[in-house]
Amino acid sequence: MNEMDISSLENMSDIQNMVGGEGGGNLLMLSIVFGIIGMLYFSYGKKRDDKEMFMYAGIGLMGFPYVVDTQMATLVIGAILMGLPFVMKPDEE
């Protein structure tokens, strides 16, 4: 291998480390997907006054990927936040 090939391989490993190693692309995609779902939950909860739990879950779905750094934790927390509005229904008076 010549000098140019070796430096391009080193740059590729630097790029992988910037996005989080081997599975960094998957974590990025999960964050984007949960952020989009959170945006939909938020807009639905804001439009409907009786569905405010969707608004809170949407805020959580948009915000939690900034503090979670593993794929499994992202999946688990995202699934919990997505199901939360369906499990916790407000008390009817």
- In this predicted model, what pLDDT tens digit does every residue of 16-71 receive, in sequence order? 555 555 566 888 999 999 999 999 999 999 998 888 899 999 999 999 999 998 89
Using the structure block, give the residue that is written with the tokens 């630097």.
14
pLDDT at 50: 83
> Taking the CA atoms of the chain, what radius of gyration do you get in angstroms?
19
The stretches of the chain forming alpha helices (DSSP H) are 3-18, 24-47, 52-63, 71-87
H/E stretch holding 82 reads helix 71-87
- In this predicted model, what pLDDT tens digit does every residue of 70-80 receive, in sequence order? 899 999 999 99
pLDDT at 39: 97
pTM of the model: 0.71
Q: How do the domains of the chain map onto residue ranges?
A: 23-87
Question: Around 74, how many Cα atoms within 13 Å sit in the side-chain half-sphere?
Answer: 21
Give the number of other CB atoms < 10 A from CB of residue 44: 15
